[in-house]
Amino acid sequence: MAPTDLVAVVPGILGSTLRQDGRLVWAPSAGAALRAIATFGASIQRLQLPAGVGDEHPRDGVEPAGLMPDLHVLPGIWTPVKGYDVLLKRLRSLGYRDISPDPAAPPGNLLPVGYDWRLSNRYTGQQLATVIEPALERWRAQGGPYADARVTFVCHSMGGLAARWYIERCGGAEVTRKLITLGTPYRGAARALHQLVNGARHGLGPFGISLTSFARSLPSLHQLLPEYACIEHDGDLAKTTETTIPELDTAMLADAMRFHTDLADAEAHRPDSLQATHPIVGTRQATATTAQIAGGRVTLIDTYRGENHYGDATVPIVGACRPDVPLDSNTLRRVPDKHGNLQRNPAALDELEGILTAQPIIVRAARPIGLRVDAPEFALAGEDITVQITPADNTRHTVRVAVTSETGRLADSRVLRPSRGTTATTIDGLAPGAYTIEVTGVDPSSPLAPVSSDILVWA
């Protein structure tokens, strides 16, 4: 039976293509990650937001053009993320139909929502109403089983924050059936502290300084900062508003924390919101959770009060759910993979299908043995790349490490038999470009859950 509701797909930060005055300024295509960064860097003076922009649009001619189909990354902004083509393909297979820009075409119920990810999530949440509600009304106008249709959000990463603001603060609760999130930092991520304070890594030539200044102008990136106490201070953990954070604009920081507080308050006053929320979270990967500040720089730590709870290598599990959801809650659907691949992970997509259909299906749940894969997200040409693999259980199952380029060319492949504990392998000789490091079992019957990492090699 064809679905009768509307599905809106909202990507994460960097996940929407952007154009300025009709010209694409952020739209990586296959095999072009380095070129996209260079193009963006050349335009960055015009794309940086003015001081005090708040929740407004700067009126600089920038507008969203669509969703990213391919790998996208800006060093110093966020983690590498693969595109949304696989997610959209799965939704189409469930019977959702694309919405055509042609008003004479039959109505559709699959709505990818691009947005200007530079801007405050409050602004984006307000804009969602102008896109979703007309599409929903057109879909409902068919009558019959469609007359009472509602919208289900499928959001990756920061997209879940914007959707929550629309639902709770812009009247969206009246038309929303479900909120499904993949790797959304409900309470923020310590990684954003590192990005904003330490800036882009040295070695990016003329783009390093400009990317850092650009990042610090973004209200959206400040809203990814941790809301939970995460900074070592006087023998305890402090919130970002309870200590001094170097390099950050105090007003932007305080406003970003109010964003989280206002959301949590609104959700607490609407009990139905929890029942409609379905978080899919990445697990078992080493993930920055707390931080030390010394000498004007941030050092990230993978533990919280001495315990390692892991996460998806970007969003720690302590930030991956609402404040009113305990970390051991059975409402959290756990998938052992990294942040940039959750929206393509087969187990995560099976979980998504089960939530959408609300009917029994054979769910490819996370396989019995999860892997933790530690690999850098950025390297300079000529640097050795060390990949460390740690099974969740004591096992000697053989693993395959495959390195592919953006265009799908196999750059390296090797088979390892892990000893008990961590096994490491070193990859060298990669030419500048973007690559995926896939760690899997060697055959379909392997009990190892695959983990995908992305790395940018800069000339």
What are 45-68's pLDDT values in tens digits? 899 999 999 999 999 999 999 998
Please tell me the distance from the alpha carbon of residue 203 to that of residue 50, in angstroms, as a whole number: 26
CA angle 258, 195, 29 (to 5 degrees): 110
Query: Are 327 and 378 found together in one domain?
Result: no
pLDDT given for residue 138 in this prediction: 96
Query: Are 329 and 421 found together in one domain?
Result: no
List, in sequence order, every residue forming a beta bridge with 173; answer none if it has no partner: none
Which pLDDT tens digit goes with each residue over 195-206?
Answer: 999 987 766 666
Instruction: Give the domain-ending residue among 345, 366, 387.
Output: 366
Residue with tokens 């959209």: 88
Instruction: Tell me which DSSP letter residue 417 carries.
Output: -
User: Of the given ranges (114-123, 133-142, 359-368), which has the lowest mean pLDDT?
Assistant: 359-368
Query: Are 256 and 385 found together in one domain?
Result: no
Name, in order, each residue with C-beta under 8 angstroms of 234's C-beta and a sequence gap of 6 or more. none
Query: Are 159 and 249 found together in one domain?
Result: yes
Average pLDDT of span 70-90: 89
pLDDT given for residue 55 in this prediction: 98
In the chain, the number of structural domains is 2
pLDDT given for residue 393 in this prediction: 77
| pLDDT range class, residue 392, cuts 50, 70, 90 | confident
> What is the span of the domain harbouring residue 216?
1-366
Query: Are 404 and 349 found together in one domain?
Result: no
Instruction: Give the domain-ending residue among 316, 340, 366.
Output: 366
Which pLDDT tens digit goes with each residue over 284-331?
Answer: 999 999 999 999 999 999 999 999 999 999 999 999 999 999 999 999
* Structure-model confidence comparison of residues 408 and 368, the more confident one: 408
Amino acid at 192: A
Instruction: Report whether pLDDT(106) > 70.
Output: yes
CATH number at residue 63: 3.40.50.1820
* Token code pair at residue 180: 């499904």
Q: Measured on CA atoms in the order 263, 303, 14, 152, is the torsion positive or negative?
A: negative
| pLDDT range class, residue 103, cuts 50, 70, 90 | confident
Residue with tokens 């200590």: 243
Average pLDDT of span 443-452: 86
Query: Are 348 and 428 found together in one domain?
Result: no
* Structure-model confidence comparison of residues 51 and 38, the more confident one: 51
| pLDDT range class, residue 39, cuts 50, 70, 90 | confident
Please tell me the distance from the alpha carbon of residue 324 to that of residue 378, in angstroms, as a whole number: 35
Query: Are 292 and 396 found together in one domain?
Result: no
List, in sequence order, every residue forming a beta bridge with 448; answer none if it has no partner: 369
Query: Are 66 and 162 found together in one domain?
Result: yes
Instruction: Report whether pLDDT(384) > 80.
Output: yes
Instruction: Report whether pLDDT(162) > 90.
Output: yes
Query: Are 336 and 293 found together in one domain?
Result: yes
Sheet holding 297-301, edge to edge: 236-238, 231-233, 290-294, 297-301
Instruction: Report whether pLDDT(102) > 80.
Output: yes
Amino acid at 274: L
pLDDT given for residue 200 in this prediction: 78
Is the full-model pTM beyond 0.85?
yes
Please tell me the distance from the alpha carbon of residue 263 to that of residue 165, in angstroms, as a whole number: 7
Residue 357 belongs to what H/E stretch? helix 346-357
User: Of the given ranges (127-141, 142-156, 275-289, 410-424), which has the lowest mean pLDDT?
Assistant: 410-424
Which pLDDT tens digit goes with each residue over 243-271?
Answer: 999 999 999 999 999 999 999 999 999 98
Residue with tokens 């990354």: 73
User: Of the given ranges (69-73, 277-281, 366-370), which has the lowest mean pLDDT?
Assistant: 366-370
pLDDT given for residue 367 in this prediction: 55
Which pLDDT tens digit goes with each residue over 333-372?
Answer: 999 999 999 999 999 999 999 999 976 555 555 556 889 9
pLDDT given for residue 158 in this prediction: 98
Instruction: Report whether pLDDT(419) > 70.
Output: no
pLDDT given for residue 121 in this prediction: 98
Beta carbons within 10 angstroms of residue 416's beta carbon: 16
Query: Are 224 and 188 found together in one domain?
Result: yes
Q: Find out whether 178 and 229 touch, Cβ atoms under 8 Å.
A: no
Tell me the helices (H) and strands (E) count for the chain, helix number first: 11, 21
Query: Are 390 and 349 found together in one domain?
Result: no
Amino acid at 57: H
CATH number at residue 440: 2.60.40.1930
Instruction: Report whether pLDDT(429) > 90.
Output: no
pLDDT given for residue 44 in this prediction: 85
Instruction: Give the domain-ending residue among 331, 366, 401.
Output: 366
Q: Rounded to whole angstroms, what are the CA distances from 227 to 51, 184, 304, 311, 323?
A: 23, 13, 14, 16, 10
pLDDT given for residue 245 in this prediction: 95
Nearest to 60 by CA among 119, 114, 120: 119
Mean of per-residue pLDDT scores for the chain: 92
pLDDT given for residue 118 in this prediction: 98
Counting residues of the chain whose pLDDT is more than 70, the rounded percentage is: 95
Query: Are 317 and 443 found together in one domain?
Result: no
pLDDT given for residue 202 in this prediction: 65
